[in-house]
Amino acid sequence: MKQSVASIGNTGRFLFTIFCASRPRRDFLTDLIAQLYSVVVRSLPIIAVGGAFVGMVMTLQGYRTLSTYGATNSVGTLLGLSLYRELGPVLTALLFIGRAGSSMAAELGLMKATDQIAALSLMAIDPVAKTVVPRFWAAIIGMPLLCGFFCSFAIVAGYIEAVYLLGLDGGYFWSALQSSVDFIDDFVVAFIKCAVFGLIGALMATYTGFNAEPTIEGTSVATTQAVVNGSLLVLVFNFILSATLFK
Amino acid sequence: MSASKSRIDLAVGVFLLLAFATLMVLAISSTNGRLPVIDDNSYQVSARFSNISELRVRAPVKIGGVRVGEIADIQLDPLTFEAVVTLELRRSAGEIPGDSSAGIYTAGLLGDRYVGITPGGDPEPLADGDDMLLTQSAVVLEDLISKFIFGNADNKKSDANDSSEESTP
């Protein structure tokens, strides 16, 4: 009990350290681009495939349920609102944590186990600024962009299924989608949520990786913790944000 | 080293461009694109109803079935216990006569509620802040059914309800 409260405090202090270490340095942009590539760009395939299938299954289930009430023209509303309000940000965050959070934690854990972090300190280079900060900001910048891809793949896949497989009218699909999704209340809020989820996922991954036991077991424990704690926190914060941000 | 580094730069650049393009397309094509800026092209009038049923904020306001605005606000008058509904109308819909009446209708049999305006003949148009005097409250289905079942629905009343349904704009 005492330990878990202490670890919450440690995480908060670690977040503060990251923000303090986020001063612009000479090679910050180079590091950030390298991390954007390995953390965000390489997550794109899983996000795209995941988004397409989520869009298709939402359309299919929405069609089946709504056809009982003769309201199949509202499939676009169902898909748009459920995507932007919940599924887009949450599923992108979970996929992202599974794909990128685990690798971040494992990388940092291995750096710790092979004394690379201690070596950086010996060379008077701030290890947090060099290893943690680029990953952290790459995740915060990348998550909303990935969510944009997720939502667009889901909508396009849902549209193709609705129009070409289920025989719904394409115009009804788009007009229902457009008229029900509000620009500020649904669209912008979805991307605010994404940035918060990116922060949570990156914070858990870098915290567990950076503070891992410097052994092989420690690295594997850190990887597991990064994914489990990150995913749980994303779900918890999703509720909090949904309750406060959406009207 | 430099070759792979420039490839990474290229990949990240292409990704960022694509991502922003995707966000722009999503924002334009999949949302209603409504920004909360103060809009000169609309004006507000209010209407009082004794019962608004399930009318919600941002429900459409229609004339002849064409959307001309939306519900900006719904309040309860603490003295008369009437619902005060603020309608936000677009100027592009033309000048609506001052004696026009507002009614609450249902899209389809069980659909969403909206406000329909039936234009009157007054040469003076509705202006910002005006009050619409002629209003017609929502038809409550339960009342209608209970009148039907318990037999105190005489023919005259059901005729009145029928005609009000037919005059849906």
Cβ contacts (< 8 Å) between A155 and chain B: which residues? Answer: 26, 30
pLDDT score recorded for residue B37:
59
Q: Give me the mean pLDDT over the B44-61 stretch.
A: 85
Task: Tell if the CB–CB gap between A182 and B22 is shorter than 8 Å.
Answer: no
pLDDT score recorded for residue A98:
94
Q: Give me the mean pLDDT over the A117-143 stretch.
A: 91
Specify which residues B113 forms β-bridges with: B106
Query: Which range, of A122-136, B106-120, B127-141, B152-166, averages the lowest pLDDT?
Result: B152-166
Task: Tell if the CB–CB gap between A178 and B34 is shorter than 8 Å.
Answer: no
Q: What is the Cα B110 distance to its own chain's centre? A: 16
Question: Which of A34, A44, A180 shows the shortest C-beta gap to B15?
Answer: A44
Cα A117–A121–A122 angle (5° rounding)?
115
Listing DSSP states for B65-122 in one string gives: TEEEEEEEEEEE-TTT--EEEEEEEEGGG-PPBTT-EEEEEESTTTS-EEEEEE----
Confidence of residue B165 (pLDDT cuts 50, 70, 90): very low
pLDDT digits (tens, 9 = 90+) for A41-92: 999 999 999 999 999 999 999 999 998 888 888 899 999 999 999 999 999 9
CA distance, residue B19 to nearest chain A CA (Å): 5
pLDDT above 90 (res A198): yes
pLDDT score recorded for residue B167:
46
Query: Bigger pLDDT: B144 or A75?
Result: A75
Task: Tell if the CB–CB gap between B12 and A149 is shorter than 8 Å.
Answer: no
pLDDT score recorded for residue B55:
83
pLDDT score recorded for residue B155:
53
Most confident of A60-74, A138-152, B78-92, B110-124: A138-152
Query: Which range, of A25-29, A151-155, A230-234, B100-104, averages the lowest pLDDT?
Result: A25-29
- Rounded to the nearest integer, the mean pLDDT of chain B is 80
CA distance, residue B122 to nearest chain A CA (Å): 33
Cβ contacts (< 8 Å) between B4 and chain A: which residues? Answer: none
pLDDT digits (tens, 9 = 90+) for A201-224: 999 999 999 999 888 899 999 999
CA–CA distance, A4 with A10 (Å, rounded to integer): 10
pLDDT above 70 (res B156): no
Cβ contacts (< 8 Å) between A152 and chain B: which residues? Answer: 22, 25-26
Task: Tell if the CB–CB gap between A177 and B33 is shorter than 8 Å.
Answer: no
CA–CA distance, B136 with B102 (Å, rounded to integer): 6
Query: Bigger pLDDT: A239 or B4?
Result: A239
Question: Which of B19, B20, B31 shows the shortest C-beta gap to A187?
Answer: B31
Collapsing DSSP states into helix, strand and coil, what is residue A29? helix
pLDDT score recorded for residue A165:
92
Task: Tell if the CB–CB gap between A40 and B15 is shorter than 8 Å.
Answer: yes
Do residues A83 and A188 lie in contact, with contact meaning Cβ atoms separated by under 8 Å? no
CA–CA distance, B122 with B129 (Å, rounded to integer): 17
The Cβ of residue A196 has, within 10 Å, a number of other Cβ atoms equal to 21
pLDDT digits (tens, 9 = 90+) for B107-125: 776 677 888 998 888 888 8
Cβ contacts (< 8 Å) between B62 and chain A: which residues? Answer: none
The residue whose two tokens read 């339960």 is: B142
User: Measuring CA to CA, which residue among B25, B117, B33, B16 is closest to residue B70?
Assistant: B117
Percent pLDDT > 70 in chain B is 80
In a domain, A92, yes or no: yes
Nearest CA in chain A to B24: A148
Q: Residue A206 is part of which domain span?
A: 26-242
pLDDT score recorded for residue A181:
87
- Rounded to the nearest integer, the mean pLDDT of chain A is 91
CA–CA distance, B154 with B149 (Å, rounded to integer): 11
Task: Tell if the CB–CB gap between B20 and A145 is shorter than 8 Å.
Answer: yes
CA–CA distance, A50 with A152 (Å, rounded to integer): 11
Number of independent structural domains in chain A:
1
Specify which residues B88 forms β-bridges with: B44, B70
pTM of the model: 0.78
Nearest CA in chain B to A79: B30
Query: Bigger pLDDT: A230 or A185?
Result: A230
In a domain, A11, yes or no: no
Question: Which of A41, A181, A186 shows the shortest C-beta gap to B15?
Answer: A41
pLDDT score recorded for residue B38:
55
Question: Which of A41, A155, A178 shows the shortest C-beta gap to B32?
Answer: A178
pLDDT score recorded for residue B110:
63
The DSSP secondary-structure symbol of A245 reads H
Question: Which of B8, B19, B32 shows the shortest C-beta gap to A182?
Answer: B32
pLDDT digits (tens, 9 = 90+) for B100-109: 888 888 877 6
In a domain, A4, yes or no: no
pLDDT score recorded for residue A54:
95
A208 class by beta-carbon count within 10 Å (0-12 exposed, 13-18 middle, 19+ buried): buried
In a domain, A17, yes or no: no
pLDDT above 60 (res A164): yes
Task: Tell if the CB–CB gap between A178 and B25 is shorter than 8 Å.
Answer: no
Cβ contacts (< 8 Å) between A151 and chain B: which residues? Answer: 26, 30
In a domain, A2, yes or no: no
pLDDT digits (tens, 9 = 90+) for A222-242: 999 999 999 999 999 999 999
Question: Which of A37, A44, A178 shows the shortest C-beta gap to B30?
Answer: A178
Task: Tell if the CB–CB gap between A145 and B15 is shorter than 8 Å.
Answer: yes
Task: Tell if the CB–CB gap between B25 and A152 is shorter than 8 Å.
Answer: yes
Cβ contacts (< 8 Å) between B26 and chain A: which residues? Answer: 148, 151-152, 155, 187
pLDDT score recorded for residue B114:
87
Percent pLDDT > 90 in chain A is 64
Structure tokens given for A154: 């889901």
